[in-house]
Chain A
């Protein structure tokens, strides 16, 4: 049923497209994509354009966030289905050409929205559900997306979609977890080589997964006495980009420690007990143990 209505929409589109082309709308190609193939997980300008164009056509209903997520993926596949393209969920040359021909994209305007973080209605104004001839005319006439916005605002049905930048974050964690971990890594190991920082982040993750430690990132980091950087406040220093990179690597599965749950600096360690733990290896100044 849904597919059917989508089909009808597609048909409307094709008609609208013809009208559009006749009316001389071909010039949009000038602003089309770069020549890269866009796939799931990608971020950046091309994705913003892809989402905007898919939204313009009514396939994509999510936020324009510049991240090729699953909603974008299904929207693209629907587009490929409607326009008789091979359905692979990849925005390659042919798909992008078709998309560029079928839709309009005002790059400067969209970027401005992203920069200011403004809420705005569907890009291109009309949702495809408006099936009357007037709607068709409306889309064709609205020279700039802004005009469309004004119209869309009048319709109670058009739910505001936001343009906001987003980020890919490894599954099961949030950006705030990443920031917290970056703080801990920076406070604990900012003088260490890169691998030593990844290792500290990996220990935090190993502890979260371990039965003998708290089950959350914050629980592990703020366990009293667990990390010296927490005890002396160094955790509140502003971490640099490298610490964040190290945390992302660790969250993505890199574990240089061989599943260690403890580490200590042999020069400053005060606890005798920590020396009794089975040692795995030394990375930088830290000894990692089980």
Chain B
């Protein structure tokens, strides 16, 4: 009797476990399938967008009139963005596929620039047609390779989950088709890396190639770096300092210093350029107590600090309080002109006014000792190009980097339209509206309500 009960119980237990296991398995499969479906969608979308992109570029080459060409180029721009978006959803982070993404971005930038300009006055040049032709050839290659990969993946029922798994564990998957296909695409793009996208797109590139070689002064050693740091913070002897040099591939050659002060139990991190020993950034990490001083007092501390450590005259452009921290941005003032590319940020603790941080990389990269301001039109003339509904409250002169990264002298108008505050920059040479910047108001905290 007991034996029968035991057998029945055991049977129920086994059957129960079996059922539980089966439903777990089903659930897991459903989740995996869903992830796989997302990847598949992104992959097929990418193929579709590359197909249309290829066709559209082909069409632009054949087009002649502006009212055809501008919309077609705008389509190219949209499709590059869509394709870029698709790539971002595929598990390619561990694959060398960034050349292709970069290429898509540049192609988008190029077609955007061409689409928004007045092609009647300023038609596509021969050079630009050549660029388009090269882009067409390149997109043909990408399209072919992707199509081949897609059809093989469909034929052999390849799963992106396997690709992801293989990439994450660095094991070779049984079927490499997808990975190989994407690698080939990236290689083929590399072959087109010298495509001339014109000055506007290459200006963007130039920003990435800036370095610190124009800095004055000679190379410093590790010991000198230590001394500079001690002077900089007026430190006592008991502070522990470690210095490390950046790797040989670093864009900005620098020494990274870590200073531990046992008195305050705070650690300060600092990077000094090897050439000249200028501070790239300073960050002081300690616990900051409740705010006791005002943002205004903190600003005075920041200005004191800048006067001590910088030769240039700086003017505050933003001030923000983050709880017990004040952050200020300063732009260099050159003969009454605000040089916006040359900015530094200073962070001040609001419990006792300590300088908590300094960021000067942008300043060092953009700094030019002598600039020649060109203000051809008067402020009154510039004002005429403003939106008539815009109420000007303050005017100043400024140098900004416009949307193609050229430095232009501008009149800066601070004013309001409706409830919003804007900075509007009018080119001081030709009166073009270079930039309209909406100044952000504080954001309500949604989760505290």
Contact = CB atoms under 8 A, between A and B. Distances in A.
A, B bound:
yes
Interface of A: 36-44, 46, 61-63, 65, 67, 69-71, 73-74, 77, 90, 117, 164-171, 174-175, 193-195, 198, 211-215, 219, 223-226, 231, 245, 248-249, 252-256, 258-259, 270-274, 278-283, 289-290
Nearest to A63: B444
B94 A67 contact: no
Contact of A254 (B89, B345, B440): B345
Interface stretch (B19-27, B117-125, B143-151, B294-302): B294-302
Given A195-B285, A255-B361, A270-B168, A37 B294 contact: yes
B170 A41 contact: no
A166 B449 CA distance: 10
A167 B442 contact: yes
Contact of A212 (B99, B247, B297, B318): B99
B411 interface: no
A283 B246 CA distance: 10
B323 A43 contact: yes
Contact of A168 (B101, B320, B446): B320
A42 to B, nearest CB: 4
Nearest to B258: A195
A65 B446 CA distance: 12
Contact of B443 (A70, A175, A273): A175
Contacts of B345: 252-254
Interface of B: 39, 84-85, 88-96, 98-99, 101-102, 105-106, 164, 167-170, 244, 246-247, 249-252, 254, 256, 258, 267, 269, 271, 280-281, 283, 285, 291, 293-297, 299, 318-323, 325-327, 329, 345, 347, 357, 359, 361-362, 393, 416, 419-421, 439-446, 448-449
A219 to B, nearest CB: 5
Contacts, number: 205
A99 B175 CA distance: 76
Which of A43, A70, A255, A272 counts the most chain B CB atoms within 10 A? A70
Given A44-B321, A283-B256, 10 more contacts: A38-B295, A41-B319, A42-B319, A166-B444, A213-B98, A252-B327, A252-B347, A253-B345, A259-B251, A279-B250
A164 B445 contact: yes
Contact of B249 (A69, A90, A167, A280): A280
A171 B421 CA distance: 14
Contacts of A224: 39, 89-93, 164
A70 B421 contact: yes
B443 to A, nearest CB: 5
24 contacts: A37-B297, A38-B295, A39-B294, A39-B319, A41-B321, A63-B444, A70-B416, A165-B444, A165-B449, A168-B322, A194-B269, A211-B105, A211-B106, A212-B101, A248-B322, A249-B283, A252-B347, A253-B359, A258-B250, A258-B251, A258-B271, A271-B167, A274-B94, A282-B247
Nearest to B38: A224
B244 A281 contact: yes
A194 B449 CA distance: 30
B105 A270 contact: no
A280 B94 contact: no
A165 B445 contact: yes
Given A167-B443, A171-B440, A253 B320 contact: no
Contact of A71 (B285, B362, B441): B441
Contacts of B445: 164-167, 175
B318 A41 contact: yes
Given A212-B102, A214-B84, A225-B91, A90 B296 contact: yes
Contacts of A71: 419, 421, 441
A230 to B, nearest CB: 10
A225 B167 contact: yes
B448 to A, nearest CB: 6
A171 B317 CA distance: 13
Nearest to A91: B296
A70 B439 contact: yes
A259 to B, nearest CB: 6
A249 B164 CA distance: 33
Contacts of A70: 416, 420-421, 439, 441
A40 B91 CA distance: 45
